[in-house]
Amino acid sequence: MTATASAPSAILESRQASTEDALNWFDSLAPVDAAALIGLWRGAEIRTGHPMDGWLEASGWYGKEFVDAETVHPLLFRGARGGIVRVVPNPLAMRSLRRMPFLKAPFWRPALQMTTALLATQHSCARLRMVECRGQVSAAMVYDSLPIIDCFRRIDNDRILGIMDEKGVAQP
């Protein structure tokens, strides 16, 4: 980490870091086996200046669900009534959100939650695989309909750190 680097505990507390500090922390963590991810995971964003920073939380993101290696629900959101909604990752929606950053404002959250309801699904939208990422083989989630792989490393027995590797986007 750099001389002004954030310690992992500070990153977890503030939920923000430079890309360099976040990647250095990720690289220092142990790999995680795919089987260890089976279950429902509550997520939180760590802001790094990525173009998608803030979108998940602004739209009520809850986390991910790994049923087995072939049945993965990569996007779980809090619905308007408070329940968890499984959402289809949509390439058009991602492109649109990048063009309209003003929608991250809290005012727009109800509208984003309605959009979430329109994209609800019960079908699996990703797979879980062991993939080499940044020099280590670790569990990764491969989206079915997006050119994205989320790579994971173990923080401790209850927490995992993930990075999004998107084709055509230099910054993870």
User: What mean pLDDT is predicted for residues 41-59?
Assistant: 88
- State how far the Cα of 129 lies from the Cα of 142, in Å rounded to an integer: 7
Mean pLDDT rounded to a whole number for the chain: 89
Q: What band does 42 get if pLDDT is binned at 50, 70 and 90?
A: very high
Nearest one of 97, 102, 22, 100 to 56, comparing CA atoms: 97
Query: What's the full length of the chain, in residues?
Result: 172
**Domains of the chain: residue spans and CATH:** 8-166 (2.40.128.580)
Q: Which residue has the higher pLDDT, 128 or 170?
A: 128
Alpha-carbon distance 160 to 66, whole Å? 13
Collapse the DSSP code of 60 into the 3-class scheme (helix H, G, I; strand E, B; otherwise coil) and give the result.
coil
Specify the pLDDT at position 2: 44
Q: Report yes or no: 62 and 78 within 8 Å, Cβ to Cβ.
A: yes
Instruction: List Cα–Cα distances, 159 to 85, 114, 151, 153, in angstroms.
Output: 22, 30, 14, 9
The answer to whether residue 113 scores a pLDDT higher than 50 is yes
Look at residue 119 and tell me whether its pLDDT is greater than 50: yes
CB-CB contact of 115 with 124 (8 Å): no
Compute the average pLDDT of residues 142-152.
97
What is the sign, positive or negative, of the torsion defined by CA atoms of 145, 164, 167, 129? negative
Average pLDDT of span 124-145: 98
Predicted confidence band of residue 59 (pLDDT cuts 50, 70, 90): confident
Measured between alpha carbons, how far is 51 from 31 in angstroms, rounded to an integer? 26
* pLDDT confidence of residue 114: 73
Please compute the mean of the pLDDT values over residues 150-168 and round it to a whole number: 96
Q: Please give the pLDDT value at position 53.
A: 86
The string of pLDDT tens digits covering residues 63-93 is 999 999 999 999 999 887 888 999 998 777 7
> What pLDDT is stored for residue 5 in this prediction?
56
Amino acid making up residue 160:
I
Given a cut of 70, is residue 121 above it in pLDDT? yes
CA distance 58 to 112: 8
